[in-house]
Structure 1
Amino acid sequence: MQQAVYDAIVIGAGPAGASCAVWLAHMGFSPLIIESSGRAGGLSASNPFEDTWNVTAPGLTGEEVAARIKLSLDSARVPVLLNSHVTRIEREAAQQGGQEHFKVYFGADLPLHARYVVIASGVEPRRPPEWEREAYDDVLVGPGKHVANYEFALKDVAILGGGDNAFENALFLKERGAKSVHIYARTLRCQRHWMKFLNESDITTGAYTFDPETRQVNGRSYDAVLVLYGFRARLQGMQDLGLDCNELGYVRTDFATTQTNLPGIYAIGEVTHRQHPCVVTSMADGVVAAKAIQKQLEQGDA
């Protein structure tokens, strides 16, 4: 029995991957999405707060945006394999007049086949390398639902990180009744307007020490510590492909097409660290990739 070959396999069902797959489907092609989590939406699916930056969804939380993404995928009849982790990708040479394609392994006995691959695997919170795989009580890594569900009332809390997330969460914790909130940042990368909401005494800049077991920062003990060191590209199962990545580990792509250094493999959304990464720019990336793949597919049929 001949193995079905999809026009494109998209790795990741976040805003970028979903946008690409939906556009391909509406243009008459056959995409399939492989998603490592149990639902579509990417990071939005774990964001219980209103996404005020998304002008297409006023008043909606990240979770509600994720639900809309799933609805779009369902309406376009895009097949999505949830809880599926890509383990490797291989290029399959053309045989007997056929076209070269890719084999994508994701834990099943047999791989899936596709003419093109789109990496839309997104990002994950960056952890300190010295405790990469460890978990500590009352030490929360990254933003998301686990922060929203945590009880901060009457607690002394430290936030590690100097970006927008650190300052936005500091205000959130104060609203949730935290006794004190102190930000430790080696450098400040946040938008300037956040500074007016906090006292200078609430911010320490420069080098600091942190012991996750005792929750001590610079020798001071805290009831809880929120670690917001930014994000890193999620490329599990793709490390051996030979992708050209920048010094921070994000995939380099051609701006006009989103193609990587590997012909036939595209990368979109936050895994590429596009300028101003967010839901809206990720969706735009998906459109660029879909149109580039459309051009290649139609040239091949000519």
Structure 2
Amino acid sequence: MHKVVILGTGPAGLTAAIYLARANMNPLIIDGDQPGGQLTLTTEIENFPGFVDGIMGPELMDNMRKQAERFGAVFKSGWATAVDTSQRPFKLQISGLGEIQTEALILSTGASAKLLHIPGELDSIGTGVSTCATCDGFFYRGKKIIVVGGGDSAMEEASFLTRFASEVTVVHRRDELRASKIMQDRARQNEKISWKLNNTPVAVMNNGTKVTGLEVRNGETGELEVIETDGIFVAIGHTPNTAFLNGQLDTDETGYIQVKPGTTETNIPGIFACGDVQDKKYRQAITAAGSGCMAAMDTERYLEGQEIIDWSQTLSEPSYNKST
């Protein structure tokens, strides 16, 4: 039996662990199948406050983990395969650990970027292949970039990357884009963006130290071509890691956990969600960490049985008896 269990060790889960450990809540944190989250796949992070010269993604996650351990947080290796939310305590099935019971549960399992699953892609993550323009666009100032995808995310990333790149080529396997008209128009009006539609990526070219090109197959002719580039941004969407919940929590149509506005509370009391598993808009390390802090505070108040005061209503009404 545990007071609180945290699933996931990205910036959201680790921040929640730090706060709860300092509050003597003795949190148990389950690593997940990718300890440290997506930041372990990132080389240098320059937009996390407090690091003037930047910091490597794995180093930042390791520091946060050590900080949580310093205050008494306990980490176990494994990942959740099933959760029973029908009654308290909640029951979790954890691979390698068996059944764990907990009074409160924080879900920070994140979202996984969809990849192309072509040769050279995984080997080039961090050396030219990225899934986050906001995170890595700065490193491609004055260089050639490819964005793969045809939806709104791809159009948004392509437009954003023109701030840094000398040219951006959008590669999409269909001859028509899926993006909304306004996003397409905005991208097509950008002189730095060129188009390679009806071309399917088949391999990432890497010289051993960095990406040099993307091999594509033309949908009409079947011919192969290598597009020279310094970086490839894969923008074909994300999948929230919520399958193990088996539909027990309210989610949107794409699987992201829905929380009560302004909180991390889910539709089941005692279960909280933070980080990318409930945020499909910002998906940044700093916003994930902030929501992890919120989840820890919401959990602490829940476990202590304290009522969360709605100060907006309190301040809008006089505190005296209106009948006097």
TM-score range, shorter chain: 0.7 to 0.9
- Say which SS state the counterpart of residue 302 (structure 2) adopts: helix
The TM-score normalised by the length of structure 1 is 0.72
Match 2:302 to one of 287, 290, 296: 296
Q: Does 1:223 align with 2:226?
A: yes
Q: Does 1:182 align with 2:164?
A: no
Q: Which residue pairs with 2:27 in the alignment?
A: 31
Q: CA deviation at 1:39?
A: 3.4
Q: Does 1:88 align with 2:101?
A: no
Question: Greater CA radius of gyration, 1 or 2?
Answer: 2
Contact 1:87–1:237 (CA under 8 A) maintained in structure 2: yes
Where do residues 151-300 of structure 1 align in structure 2 (5 Å cutoff)?
Answer: 158-161=146-149, 162-163=154-155, 165-166=157-158, 182-184=169-171, 186=177, 187=179, 199-200=192-193, 202-203=194-195, 208-213=197-202, 215-217=216-218, 219=220, 221-223=224-226, 227-238=234-245, 240-273=246-279, 275-299=281-305
Q: Which residue pairs with 1:120 in the alignment?
A: 108
- Say which SS state the counterpart of residue 16 (structure 1) adopts: helix
Q: CA deviation at 1:295?
A: 1.2
CA RMSD of aligned residues (A): 3.6
Q: Which residue pairs with 1:145 in the alignment?
A: 126
Q: CA deviation at 1:218?
A: 5.1
Identical-residue share of aligned pairs (%) = 18
- How far apart in 1 are the matches of 2:124 and 2:303? 39
Name the aligned partner's letter for residue 128 of structure 2: V
Q: CA deviation at 1:56?
A: 3.0
Contact 1:216–1:222 (CA under 8 A) maintained in structure 2: yes
Where structure 2 has 5 or more consecutive residues not aligned to the other structure, the ranges are 131-143, 203-214, 307-324
Q: Which residue pairs with 1:46 in the alignment?
A: 41
| Structure that is richer in strand per residue | 2
- How far apart in 1 are the matches of 2:266 and 2:242? 14
- How far apart in 1 are the matches of 2:100 and 2:94? 8
Contact 1:142–1:229 (CA under 8 A) maintained in structure 2: no
- How far apart in 2 are the matches of 1:259 and 1:169? 35
Contact 2:264–2:272 (CA under 8 A) maintained in structure 1: yes
Q: Which residue pairs with 1:153 in the alignment?
A: none
Q: Does 1:69 align with 2:64?
A: yes
Residues 143/296 of structure 1: CA separation in 2 closer, same or farther (3 Å cut): farther
Where structure 1 has 5 or more consecutive residues not aligned to the other structure, the ranges are 94-99, 129-134, 150-155, 175-179
Q: Which residue pairs with 2:98 in the alignment?
A: 110
Paired residues, what number? 261
- How far apart in 1 are the matches of 2:64 and 2:237? 24
- How far apart in 2 are the matches of 1:142 and 1:284? 31
Contact 1:125–1:141 (CA under 8 A) maintained in structure 2: no
Residues 171/299 of structure 1: CA separation in 2 closer, same or farther (3 Å cut): closer
Contact 2:21–2:68 (CA under 8 A) maintained in structure 1: no
- How far apart in 2 are the matches of 1:157 and 1:280? 26
Q: CA deviation at 1:112?
A: 1.2
Name the aligned partner's letter for residue 23 of structure 2: M
Residues 137/143 of structure 1: CA separation in 2 closer, same or farther (3 Å cut): closer
Q: CA deviation at 1:164?
A: 5.4
Q: CA deviation at 1:38?
A: 5.4
Name the aligned partner's letter for residue 221 of structure 1: L
Residues 143/29 of structure 1: CA separation in 2 closer, same or farther (3 Å cut): farther
Q: Deviations over 1:91-131 (max 9, x none)?
A: 474xxxxxx21111112363111111111011111257xxx
- How far apart in 2 are the matches of 1:298 and 1:141? 45
Name the aligned partner's letter for residue 9 of structure 1: V
Name the aligned partner's letter for residue 243 of structure 1: L
Residues 70/89 of structure 1: CA separation in 2 closer, same or farther (3 Å cut): same
